[in-house]
Amino acid sequence: MAKEVFISLPVADLAKAKAFYQAIGLENNPQLSDDTGACMVWSEAVSIMLITHAKWREFTDRPIAPSNTSEMAINLSCDSREAVDVMNQAAAKHGGQADVNPIQDHSFMYGRDFCDPDGHIWGAMWMDMAAATEESAS
């Protein structure tokens, strides 16, 4: 059986969150979506579960982190530096906040962080593994 990762996030407005994630390149899996949550697919191995606050509270009594805090940062690999920029721009245009941290440019690795409408931090990143290997060997 293939291993998969499902990242679950509480969201205040499911329709807005779903539209945001579609705008940055994820696809909705309607088989795992309903009016309390949406499964957004990044790859065959990674999906993001957007869950309404009411449904989230059925899973835990712990408080939902305020949108101005850092709970964790999740990075999504992109095919190029340009794709990183496109994702960051799409985030800003669809209710998120672009460049919430300094841009990381290390020649072999490039990344830009953004927030979704609920304040969850995401990093779009590109890495040239061959150049990274060369740099670490020197």
d(CA 50, CA 56): 9
Give residue-wise pLDDT tens across range 46-60. Answer: 999 999 999 999 999
pTM for the complete prediction?
0.86
Give residue-wise pLDDT tens across range 89-104. Answer: 999 999 999 999 999 9
CATH node for 5-137:
3.10.180.10
Helices (H), ranges, the chain = 14-23, 53-56, 81-93, 129-137
Per-residue pLDDT at 39: 97
pLDDT category of residue 136 using cuts at 50, 70 and 90: low
Give the percent of the chain with pLDDT over 70. Answer: 95
Domain chopping of the chain, boundaries: 5-137
The letter for the amino acid at 103 is I
Per-residue pLDDT at 138: 58
Contact 52, 11 (CB under 8 A): yes
Q: What is the pairing mode between strands 73-77 and 46-52?
A: unpaired
CB count in 10 Å sphere of residue 53:
14
Q: Strand, helix or coil at 22?
A: helix
Q: Average pLDDT, whole number, for the chain?
A: 92
72 Cβ contact partners less than 8 Å away, ≥ 6 residues apart = 121
The letter for the amino acid at 104 is Q
Per-residue pLDDT at 135: 60
